[in-house]
Structure 1
């Protein structure tokens, strides 16, 4: 729905669309959107941005349908499939009734809704693999649990932090201490290997996403600061208060039951990665929007189930705790709480009639895209980019800079909606005027959409 009504965006849908298309063509996962900031039209491998070889599993789907719609459907299927091993996990711990209700609560949870609303991300694989991982631990299958943890590492390099946290949690479970130690050591080693060896081999800068300058210039300096001034942690966790609201919305619907389980150390480790960030560039990590919380929602649900089961066992028949409700009732309360907040997040749009109709400018957007030839390099307005990504080489529309003065031979501009790489709509209009002065000709203009092309022979 959002794709066909021009409410998606280049970031990150086109980036992943280009990368998976590279795999589908039996090549590297190259993205011209990522490479454009180095040189116009150049491509940068996604393996140098994040180590996510798991995306290659989606390549065969592009042989059926080549386009970002495939990613959107695949993500929905992956999120939904996670409910099956999770149901098995809950049934074994709390019974069939709790299994059904909590599976529904997971599917309707706001982290999943917000991730779907953000179109696509490699975290789509995480709930399914996490559910299998915890179910295998519950079943006592050590090697299969280790294998699931290994698969998780192939989704994105920072999930090594999750594996480290889970390993630390398993040290508190006597029969799983050896496995926990292996996960802890293996996760830490893989994080270093991916960050400082594998990704740099694909052109990555290890400090690209270092948003912790309050703590230090690098991990070693930051760790020293954390150990020497631990009280600073409380201040950073509460600043801005967006972090506290996110933590509350993650744990309150689960009645804070994850905190009763050692499994909670896994999602808490990933949360620490986000909430201990101090720089403005990490602002998106702190809130409830986007895909970040989809990486931990299944682990929180599994930890809540384990916490409820532990609470029930610990209080059975004891005064005054024997009057506490059963684990099944606790699960039902958790489910009701999770479902009650559905209208306040992305799924709430489904109940708004105004969400369904296409924008009045959609017809103009479709006509503007028709003027762009197949296979050309084109700078595209953000909302239109995904809809033309399958047949052109898309980069984000942005004004020239000193480091990248070249412009694409085709431009599809939007003079009514603010674009990510412009300070204002006025700056967008000024860029279009500059392009006209440089000799670009107008192929289309209607309702704010403008299509320009360079007629010079070198641009075809």
Structure 2
């Protein structure tokens, strides 16, 4: 790859006598890059740790990552036990990460647990790696554009990528490390330094099974553009063989028989009436409309835009570089799982690298075009300032820094401190069963289960301790089942060790069978001041008001909505009622939210004249149509196991509790 610098630019470069000046400029530029990277690392390290300390991370994936890391340094590589419930999830029932993803780098990353044996180590490691990606970005832009200024600006553009920031905040995933590694790999390939290129490629491939496909295209690029056929073709073959071996041999070997595959959960429509790869081929050949109906939707069109606009669409001027991300683009765009084409989360790690590199090469071509009208140095400055402006505008529209709309500092208050106390009560190393957001905080142990699984199937060691937080969102289990299983345990020889403010600690053999009144404190709200007051009455319930919070923004372009509904009954013997929040678009119900807490303290047990807070489950939007959705509250007679459809049929009178803009 020859430098795109023009003849005039080469004439403008300092002479040999100006070496000290070059060194000074480089030193100043690298100092600025280091300052940007340090600032990014401090900000996003703090924000990420706040998310963890504030109990905003989940069993999937921080919990199983933490448990697998702890087990790896204790001699049980990749072992974890918190995904054994039979969900509609790929590879459920497994006890190894190798049945989910093939990440050979994991034992190396787990060494961070020797410094601190908890998820914080992985969070800090991920943040540091992503921050350091600014350095190869600077070096590549400086080399390609022959400008330290352009290098500094592109390093800042890299750090301002909303997709990068969301990935950083979204718990921990080894594939995040592929982003800086692939940028470094391209830098070394550009410089024809093939030994460090190979090291970066090997490390990147070790972060996740599909990265080998991206590396393979790097190899083909080297073979074609740099005429290094032997090195390029060897890289391509190695990358393809690795990905095929990882998916069809390693993952297949470790996946539990009868469980779901990624092909089924994320590309099931491609199988059509067939099964497996054969069904996919049949669909491609005979039913292209099925593919078009999943591909030609607004969120996927916006996904491409979302990836390209942080660098001002300059990547479009380097289409051959963008093609290096073709395997991941295809996998994400064909998927029926909206997480894969949201542009947030961890599914676009390698695409960030490709877009950054393509934008740098595209900037060189834009400068060349502009250089026909203005001097080369002015053209360089103009292009650099343009891409910086694009990055700042995009950050203001979608970003996670203080100038972006998704900037959020997680609150850590009395309830989180109380949760810390409950977590610390569990004996170190003891098998434990817990729920979603408590799970990562109990992950430094050999056996960890997600309630209602308590690990009572040999050869596992069963959990005799259960810690739940009923005030927090629940994941995976149907709402009534959490309460029913807990009550079942209390009738089977378990007892209450402690219970307060929605947190409850059960232990097998404990004598106390009574749940104290302090447990229900999280629902009592006589002194509360809701964000939005309401008036009126539905059935026997007076509508006092509601709070709403936007949550899980690092993994949802349209954030989840978590509501607290405040109700008061003036009856001394109120009936059984449940609040339901419906999300309605164009008169059609597209989602709903209910509450787990009412299974523990139903309205029939409320004291007349008092106000109660009902915590609703997160409302997740999955509509593919842009527009505006209405949020409407219904208070209806309690149902045993209401579905959204059943609740919609019984909705009765509705009260507005806000709107949600559906845009990507």
TM-score range, shorter chain: 0.7 to 0.9
Q: Which residue of 2 aligns with 1:15?
A: 64
Q: Secondary structure at the match of 2:208?
A: coil
User: Are 1:24 and 2:81 counterparts?
Assistant: no
Q: Comparing both structures, which one devotes a greater share of its residues to helix?
A: 1
TM-score (norm 2): 0.61
User: Are 1:334 and 2:391 counterparts?
Assistant: no
Q: Secondary structure at the match of 2:412?
A: coil
Higher RCO (CA 8 Å, separation ≥ 6 residues): 1
Distance 1:227 1:283, change over 3 A: same
User: Are 1:55 and 2:109 counterparts?
Assistant: no
Q: Distance in 2 between matches of 1:147 and 1:353?
A: 35
Distance 1:283 1:199, change over 3 A: same
Distance 1:431 1:340, change over 3 A: farther
Moved more, 253-262 or 175-184: 175-184
Q: Which residue of 2 aligns with 1:442?
A: 496
Q: 2:234 aligns with which of 156, 173, 182?
A: 182
Distance 1:269 1:259, change over 3 A: farther
Distance 1:174 1:366, change over 3 A: closer
TM-score (norm 1): 0.86
Q: 2:276 aligns with which of 207, 218, 241?
A: 218
Q: Which residue of 2 aligns with 1:289?
A: 344
Q: Distance in 1 between matches of 2:412 and 2:403?
A: 14
Instruction: State how many pairs are aligned.
Output: 447
Q: Distance in 1 between matches of 2:252 and 2:507?
A: 37
Distance 1:207 1:135, change over 3 A: farther
Structure 1 residue 327, shift from structure 2 partner: 4.4
Q: Distance in 2 between matches of 1:55 and 1:189?
A: 20
Q: Distance in 2 between matches of 1:103 and 1:315?
A: 22
Distance 1:98 1:195, change over 3 A: same
CA contact (8 A) 2:55 2:437 kept: yes
Q: Map of 1:246-395 to 2, 5 A cutoff?
A: 246-261=303-318, 262-278=320-336, 282-313=337-368, 316-317=371-372, 326-343=379-396, 344-348=398-402, 355-390=409-444, 393-395=447-449
Distance 1:374 1:45, change over 3 A: same
CA contact (8 A) 2:366 2:383 kept: no
CA contact (8 A) 1:49 1:204 kept: no
Distance 1:187 1:119, change over 3 A: same
Distance 1:6 1:350, change over 3 A: farther
Distance 1:370 1:311, change over 3 A: closer
User: Are 1:79 and 2:79 counterparts?
Assistant: no
CA contact (8 A) 2:213 2:239 kept: yes
Q: Distance in 2 between matches of 1:369 and 1:290?
A: 27
1:177-212: CA deviations, max 9, x gaps? 554433333322222211122333444679621122
CA contact (8 A) 2:181 2:200 kept: yes
Structure 1 residue 249, shift from structure 2 partner: 0.9
If you compute each CA radius of gyration, which structure gives the higher value, 1 or 2?
2
Q: Distance in 1 between matches of 2:483 and 2:462?
A: 16
Question: Which ranges of structure 2 fall in alignment gaps of 5 or more residues?
Answer: 1-49, 88-92, 512-664
Q: Which residue of 1 aligns with 2:55?
A: 6
Q: Comparing both structures, which one devotes a greater share of its residues to strand?
A: 2
Q: Map of 1:112-131 to 2, 5 A cutoff?
A: 112-131=164-183
Q: Secondary structure at the match of 1:137?
A: helix
Q: Distance in 1 between matches of 2:107 and 2:446?
A: 21
Q: 2:119 aligns with which of 45, 68, 89?
A: 68
Distance 1:348 1:208, change over 3 A: farther
Q: Distance in 2 between matches of 1:8 and 1:339?
A: 28
Distance 1:132 1:228, change over 3 A: farther
Tell me how large the CA RMSD over aligned residues is: 3.5
Structure 1 residue 354, shift from structure 2 partner: 7.6
